[in-house]
Structure 1
Amino acid sequence: MKILKYVLVLSLVLTLTACAGNAADKKAETTGQTDMKKDAVAEQSNKEQPKEEKMETKADKQEMTPEKLIIVLDWVPNTNHTGLFVAKDKGYFAEEGLEVEIVQPADDSSSAIVGAGKAELGIYFQPNMVKRLLKGTPITAVAAILQHNTGGIMSLKESGITSPKEMTGKKHSTWEDPIDDATVKYVVDKDGGDASTLEWIPGESTDATTALKLKLFDTIFVYQGWDYIHSQVKQVETNFFLLKDYAPEFDYYTPVLIANNDFLANKPEVTKRALRAIKKGYEFAADNAKEAAEILIKNAPEGDAELIRASQEFLSTQYIADAKSWGVIDRERWNRFFQWLYDQKLIEQPLVDQGFSNDYLE
């Protein structure tokens, strides 16, 4: 019996040992399979990594390819354009992935060039947009360069003309533009004068101060930030008053940044990038008049440096003025001027909410 008992115990021990060995083998096998899977995943990951790096490199190259844009000015470079040159000089366009060329118009106006798609953006004026919009020219004002109209009437101080009514019976220089002439007549009559007695002297004077000194006429429409300041730089005593002070309808937008409508429709994000850079340029000019003037002088060496510096001191206060931010076009003011044109029968159809958009400003 004892021998049988020992045999049974020994048999049980051997059986348990074998089971433990099998379990260990299975665990080792499972662990080995898991490790092999991990190695395979790691190997596959290492194989895929170069592909991801190649894709990132390609994307980087695409981002580095700049979008080319042309901005056409309305005239020779001046302080209305300072923010554009600042944006280029400071690298704001480059930061937005843009390669921008700023050009002067040749034979056509900036509106015709932008409308024809020969330039994506340009500088123009709300009153001048009227005939373009009525003809269906595909342009839209996307930002206001200045927040308020600085246009008004200048005369020699010795003339004693300090208000519209005092223009009665005087000689006024005209570009023979129906809208410009109508605004002058309107403020003269509204101020208590008689616009019917005005003597209109045709001609486009590029130097209003000299023309006044030569007595070619008594009064001329000019912009405060350029021609009026030019008279001060030349130390010629002049009088000046703003049209908007006598008729709020004339607080229209001049100048504005216009864009080609197809460009807006096809590349809205590029437009926004361009406006971000331009906005930064004008914000810088608003805060740094002296440095901004030097940037403009560097980019327009043919200009009158003394005039540019004096003009910049004034216009830097006008880029944003009382607005919340640069570029915003007030819908009510925009429509008010166009409604005045319709009420005065200067246009045959209303232009409510036409020709402008704030959608591309951020």
Structure 2
Amino acid sequence: MESFGNLLRTKREEKNISLETASRDTIISKQYLEALENERIDIFPGHTYVTGFLRNYSEYLGLDSAYIVKLFNSKIMQEAPIPENLIIKKHVNKKIIAGIAGGAVGLCAALILTLYFTVIKPGKEKTPAVDLGKTAGESYTVSAIPLQRRLYKGDTICVPFPDNTVNLSVEKTLNTLALTTPIGVQYVELGEELEMDVDGTGGADIVVFLSDISKENENLGAEVRMFVKAGSTAAISANELISAGSVAVESGEVLKDGTKHTVILQDNRAYPFTINASFRGMCLYRYKSDRSDPAEHFLTSGDTLKVSAQSALRLWISNANTVKMQLVAEGKSYDLEMGRPGQVLVEDVRWIKEADGVYKLTVAEVD
């Protein structure tokens, strides 16, 4: 099997490009470029970061990024140990050892073909052999806090109203998301943000945004972001949530996790805020808004992303110098500092409540 590290180094040397120049052009630190060429993937925080940097670096050198990533995935698969629970520890009669040895040849061939068609072979959408993240018939309650989930057919979305709860059923997750509501089936297209009336009163109750859905396999589900529309009868008071999630600290005090915070603004109340991010290079961008599950996107030059929160937002950025972030709150905007090239940056943006009752919107870098 070819070495993706050797291909990267050879191509760079053919183009007479130094590591310093490549680092400056790709906005990836020299340390990470050297690690890619030497296949030292142990220094990266995770395999997702390796994949992102490989795509960026190989495209910069004029290599086939999909092929380079495939070589990396093949290396990981080959080096991965066999899980102990797949090894059956059992005494075998010596008389059947010869038969097992003969059958092993056929078994190896079958495994190689299976791996090729299910893992390595490109061009078709991959279906996981076991979906560890899915439990049939899950139920989720939507509120004013954006909820990002992968929904599957048979799941239920509960929309609370003052007098009752309206349940929506996930009817279809193939090409189009179909939700069965008390007033009929409603459809959401990929990339569409739909304001949905679920109780038939004529006003929008919830907002559903469909960010990912399969065109070939319904079992892969649909990635959605949904929340109760502000001002609707189903809305939950954002002030109550913010009060419950605020942290009372003295002015200038170090936060409980040991980090120091930078105050962006202060007020006698807390209110929702938004982070607008624009990208000038490849970057893995993850975020967790309030109490919702983390969401993850791989973004590249020219992409933009908007994330809102009521009280707290955590950001993970694989290559901090590629992203420019602007915080918007109460009609005012503030530019946040960019990190270093190749830096893996984790930041918390959240409201904290001082002992005197003043609310401060703060930014803190997390180790």
TM-score range, shorter chain: under 0.3
Task: Give TM-score scaled by structure 1 length.
Answer: 0.23
Larger strand percent: 2
The structure with the larger Rg is 1
Larger helix percent: 1
- Using CA pairs below 8 Å that are at least 6 residues apart, which structure has the higher relative contact order? 1
